């Protein structure tokens, strides 16, 4: 395994490090600039209304991926019928067929006003004081969501999100990166009720990873080889990715890798260097944990314009190192990378993803296309990672 991954380190080191904001939109492929049809947009907004009323955790205890998958499907070109069918099947499969069906997140409370009488004026929003004290408390999702609803109503999306994200950023790895992933999808969907749910979910699962100073930073290519060689060495067997990441962060290997990481890089440059590493890791291994790094790094790119210019990039290094060490690469099914000329193009990959019922595969293909569109990785590598997810069960 280390030999297979190390062979890709030279490709990763060749990636151009630049902040995503510097990529001119004129260089994006046409499909990246397209928008869903009006009916699909309407269906997406209605389905997100319903999602906003659901608990962020499924009855099984795992994260509810429905709102994230729906937005990814819409961006991949799914029509309204496909969005509604996917939502119905997902809710049925998770035992939530009737949940949240009565009222939408942006609708009324279900009580009819007296005929001819104007509705009473809404009470002025008062943002819940001290919401930051509730970070990391899963049981506090309800109050946290109320705080986010009120904050968005009082301050508006832009100011509130820019004010909240610095407090959430240290817990970037929340719920195996699903906190920032859900927020990024909600921001792009432009749906305030879903955004409130996403921000509250991130806050309720907030758990920073231990900081390690970069006392002996190595050249980038050498560090990538060391990271790849460390994959699977811990052989963690915790019950979830989040638990494995927490265990990994307590290991000497985590300390060793972060002490030698080039953590002084600006956040945009660090992101541009790390994206190809995650894509290559998934393209080779199909690993389920590495998949979350691919989709999580896409979320970071989306959040970059909402974060302060001097945001601490070391948080990103901690999450990537912990996620890589948490991945069970010791038992992954490694495959040679197919030649780019043998791979389907993006239209075929998008169509295959839209036909999927696996929410993780849908989000992975969407993230791969997004990384390619914004120049964060070679397009062929992005298609290799997308094809791996579509043609094989994640390892």
Q: For every residue of the chain, which 3-state class applies, written as one string? A: CHHHHHCCHHHHHCCCCCCHHHCCHHHCCHHHHCCCCHHHHHHHHHHHHHHCCCCCECCCCCECCHHHHHHHHHHHCCCHHHHHHHHHHHHHHCCCCCCCCCCCCCCCCCCCCCCCCCCCCCCCCCCCCCHHHHCCCHHHHHHHHHHHHHHHHHHCHHHHHHHHHHHHHHHCCCCCCHHHHHHHHHHHHCCHHHHHHHHHHHHHCCCCCCCCCCCCCCCHHHHHHHHHHHCCCCCCCCCCHHHHHHHHCCCHHHHHHHHCCCCCCCHHHHHHHHHHHHHHHHHHHCCHHHHHHHHHHHHHHHHHHHCCCCCCCHHHHHHHHHHHHHCCHHHCCCCCCCCHHHCCCHHHHHHHHHCCCCHHHHHHHHHHHHHHHCCCCCHHHHHHHHHHHHHCCCC
Specify the pLDDT at position 97: 78
Band of the pLDDT at 115, cuts 50, 70, 90?
very low
Query: Residue 11 pLDDT more than 70?
Result: no
Specify the pLDDT at position 250: 98
- For CA atoms 213, 297, 382, 328, the dihedral sign is positive
Q: In this structure, are residues 176 and 294 in contact, taking their beta carbons and an 8 Å threshold?
A: no
The pLDDT tens digits for 362-374 are 999 999 999 999 9
Q: Which residue reads 């927490």 in tokens?
A: 246
Instruction: Measure the N-to-C terminal CA separation of the chain; round to a whole number of Å.
Output: 13
Residue 277, both tokens? 């590493």
Domain boundary assignment for the chain = 2-25+210-391, 34-93, 134-204
Query: Residue 357 pLDDT more than 60?
Result: yes
Average pLDDT over the chain reads 87
Query: Residue 104 pLDDT more than 70?
Result: no
Band of the pLDDT at 126, cuts 50, 70, 90?
low
Q: Which residue reads 């389920």 in tokens?
A: 288
């Amino acid at each position: 395994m280390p030999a297979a991954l190390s062979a890709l380190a030279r490709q990763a080191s060749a990636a151009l490090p630049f902040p995503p904001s510097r990529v001119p939109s004129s260089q994006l492929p046409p499909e990246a600039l397209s928008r869903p049809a009006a009916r699909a947009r309407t269906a997406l907004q209605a389905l997100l209304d319903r999602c906003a009323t659901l608990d962020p955790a499924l009855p099984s205890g795992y994260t509810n991926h429905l709102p994230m998958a729906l937005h990814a499907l819409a961006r991949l070109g799914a029509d309204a019928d496909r969005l509604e069918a996917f939502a119905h099947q997902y809710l049925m499969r998770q035992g939530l067929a009737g949940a949240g069906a009565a009222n939408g997140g942006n609708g009324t409370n279900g009580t009819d006003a007296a005929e001819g009488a104007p509705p009473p004026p809404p009470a002025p929003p008062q943002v819940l004081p001290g919401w930051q004290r509730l970070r990391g408390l899963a049981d506090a999702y309800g109050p946290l969501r109320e705080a986010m609803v009120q904050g968005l109503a009082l301050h508006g999306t832009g100011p509130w999100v820019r004010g909240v994200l610095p407090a959430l950023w240290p817990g970037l790895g929340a719920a195996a990166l699903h906190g920032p992933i859900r927020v990024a999808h909600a921001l792009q969907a432009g749906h305030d009720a879903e955004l409130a749910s996403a921000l509250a979910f991130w806050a309720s699962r907030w758990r920073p990873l231990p900081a390690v100073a970069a006392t002996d930073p190595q050249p980038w290519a050498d560090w990538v080889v060391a990271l790849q060689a460390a994959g699977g060495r811990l052989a963690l067997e915790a019950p979830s990715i989040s638990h494995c990441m927490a265990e990994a962060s307590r290991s000497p290997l985590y300390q060793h890798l972060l002490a030698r990481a080039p953590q002084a890089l600006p956040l945009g440059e660090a992101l541009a260097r790390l994206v190809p590493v995650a894509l290559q890791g998934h393209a080779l291994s199909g690993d389920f944990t590495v998949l979350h790094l691919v989709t999580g790094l896409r979320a970071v790119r989306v959040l970059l314009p909402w974060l302060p210019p001097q945001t601490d990039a070391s948080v990103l290094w901690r999450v990537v190192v912990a996620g890589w060490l948490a991945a069970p690469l010791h038992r992954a099914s490694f495959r040679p990378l197919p030649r780019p000329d043998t791979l389907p193009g993006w239209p075929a990959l998008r169509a295959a993803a839209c036909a999927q019922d696996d929410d993780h595969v849908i989000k992975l293909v969407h993230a791969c296309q997004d990384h390619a569109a914004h120049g964060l990785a070679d397009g062929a590598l992005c298609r290799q990672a997308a094809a791996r997810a579509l043609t094989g069960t994640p390892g």
